[in-house]
Amino acid sequence: MAKSVLINFNRHLALLAFSVGCSTYSATINRVEPPDAGLDGGVEIGGKSSTGGAATSSSSSAPGGATSTGSSASGGATDIAGATGIGAATGTGGPTETAGNSSTGGVVAVGGLSSLGGTYPTGSAGIASAATGGTSAIGGAATGGTATAGGASSTGGVSTTGVAATTGGFPGDTLPPTILHIAPADGATGVTSDSTVEITFSEAMNQSSVRNGLSVSGVLPGSLNLAWNAAGTTLTITPSTGLSYNTGTDLNSVSAKSYTVLLSTVASDLSGNPLESTFTSTFATLRKISQTVVPTVDAHYDSLGLALGDAIEICPAGSIEAYRIGTLTSSSNGSTWYGVFSFENVPVPSSIYDLSSAGISGTQTPPDPLTFYSDGGSVLLQESSTYMVLAPTGMKPLRALPWVTIGTFATAYEVTTSVDITSTFAPEIADGTRSFLFQLTQQNGGNGEYANYECSTVKLALVYLVP
């Protein structure tokens, strides 16, 4: 069937014929042009599409008007219910013309694409675009116009399908912010003293409100330094004095120190929306353990006697008798005296985080003779990379062990002397070694000059961190 549309203008007459389904329609559009109208308008026909067919269209355009051509719907029948644009441009305050059997708001339904051209001054309604795929979108109504289908648009607003725009932009933010991440995590243990606390929010926050709502147990508010990323979404909290460790000498009786980060509902986003509820997160720092370990066996021996099969001399428990560290050489023979001690199964847990320090100390008695190594000698501390259990007999292999000097124990007579062995001891502890063998020996001492050490005064002092 054929459809005829007769459009009668004061100045133009156009006849457009096209096929729509099986019905014939006709419409007459009369345009009344006000005196001294500034522009001649054009009429746009959005086109039509039948099943599987391509849409065709034509339009007439007077100077200043815009013409657009409709597109086909893919693979389906599309009914364009008079998708005719509001085509003519008028001067300020001029009338708005409509044409045809227009669907709601003149918006094309499923599949069609209609561009409604022309310029719409104040006082006329214009729809900037039509949607495809069965969804209508209003690109914004001109000042003073009203658009339906997909949301109402007020002055200056933007409307999408089913959402009403408000004056000045999208609806205001009414969603509360949330905390996406915190480090250390809630329940974390073994946190170091130099750690910071980092909180990530779902959106930019009002920074002064966060400061007012924030607290960390055990830390004065004035000691919390706060830093934000550029987006205002990530907060880094640094206690100015650092975090603390609980300390003690008995690993089993020292508990870890806990910190709780609290952020109340005083904290809000930039729109003033507060957190829905108070947020808390708790973590614990490392424990700092200081241990003093006495030797499993504290003994001394001389090289000649050991070579002859003599037993090593083990210090009786609690004895403070002195033993020599030195060398005596005679015309017929000579011998060197050593102190030797072992630490078996040192009670350092496998979960140790860090060995902060390790040292060995001992107590001297006045030298014999009265001058301590007058030739500038010293006492060296040596460690064997091969461990032996010290026993009263069977110690002949002792001298053949691979002894390595790890520090200078003394260079003069002092009541207490010590040497730091952290750099040597730490990797051994980390590797799981727990039994150690040391000896004291003379270096560059004069013949017959000694350093004297008391039995049962040698100590191994350890400081370590553990979760």
Per-residue pLDDT at 405: 95
Per-residue pLDDT at 359: 97
| CATH number of this structure's domain 293-466, picked from the four choices 2.60.120.230, 1.10.760.10, 1.20.1560.10, 3.30.420.40 | 2.60.120.230
Per-residue pLDDT at 369: 62
How far apart are alpha carbons 118 and 46 in whole angstroms? 14
Fold held by 179-285: Immunoglobulin-like (2.60.40)
In this structure, the chain runs to a length of: 467
Residues forming beta bridges with residue 321, ordered by sequence position: none
How far apart are alpha carbons 285 and 189 in whole angstroms? 6
Residue spans of the domains in the chain: they are 1-171, 179-285, 293-466
pTM summary value:
0.61
Residues forming beta bridges with residue 285, ordered by sequence position: 191
How far apart are alpha carbons 248 and 290 in whole angstroms? 6
User: Is the separation of the CB atoms in 116 and 127 below 8 Å?
Assistant: yes
The pLDDT profile of the chain, 467 residues, written as one tens digit per residue, is 444 443 343 333 333 333 333 343 433 334 434 444 333 434 333 333 333 333 333 333 333 333 333 333 333 333 333 333 333 333 333 333 333 443 333 333 333 333 333 433 333 333 333 333 333 333 333 333 333 333 333 333 333 333 333 333 335 889 999 999 999 999 999 999 999 999 999 999 999 999 999 999 999 988 999 999 999 999 999 999 999 999 999 999 999 999 999 999 999 999 999 999 999 999 999 999 999 999 999 998 888 888 777 778 898 876 777 888 887 776 556 788 899 999 999 999 999 999 999 999 999 888 766 677 777 789 999 999 999 999 888 888 888 899 999 999 998 888 899 999 999 999 999 999 999 999 999 988 777 778 888 888 999 999 999 99
Per-residue pLDDT at 321: 77
CB atoms within 10 A of CB 155: 12
How far apart are alpha carbons 457 and 362 in whole angstroms? 5
The letter for the amino acid at 301 is: Y
User: Is the separation of the CB atoms in 201 and 229 below 8 Å?
Assistant: no
Peptide bond just before 176 cis, omega within 30 deg? no
In sequence order, which ranges of 146-286 are alpha helices (DSSP H)? 207-213
Per-residue pLDDT at 229: 98
Residue located via tokens 């987006």: 231
Per-residue pLDDT at 172: 81
User: Is the separation of the CB atoms in 452 and 323 below 8 Å?
Assistant: yes
Residue located via tokens 């441009």: 89
